[in-house]
Amino acid sequence: MDYLVAAVGEWNKSLFELNSKKLEGSWYFVSTPDELNSKLEKGLKPRYIFFPHWRWIVPENILNQYECVCFHMTDVPYGRGGSPLQNLIIRGHQETILTALKMEKSLDTGPVYFKKPLTLAGTAHEIYVRASKLTWEIIKEMVLHEPLPKPQAGDPVVFNRRKPSQSEIEPNLSLEQLYDHIRMLDAPNYPKAFLNKDSYYLEFQDAKLEGNELVATVKIQIKR
CATH number, domain of 66, equals: 3.40.50.170
User: Do 172 and 137 have their domain in common?
Assistant: no
- Per the structure, the count of domains in the chain is 2
Report whether 16 contacts 27 (CB < 8 A): yes
User: Domain range spanning residue 18?
Assistant: 2-159
- Return d(Cα 39, Cα 133) in angstroms, integer: 25
* pLDDT score of 11: 84
Residues of the chain with pLDDT under 70: none
Quote the pTM value.
0.90
* pLDDT score of 183: 98
Q: Residue 176: which residues within 8 A CB-CB, separation 6 or more? A: 209
User: Do 114 and 190 have their domain in common?
Assistant: no
* pLDDT score of 223: 84
Report whether 90 contacts 180 (CB < 8 A): yes
User: Do 100 and 144 have their domain in common?
Assistant: yes
* pLDDT score of 224: 77
Nearest to 97 by CA among 79, 71, 69, 118: 118
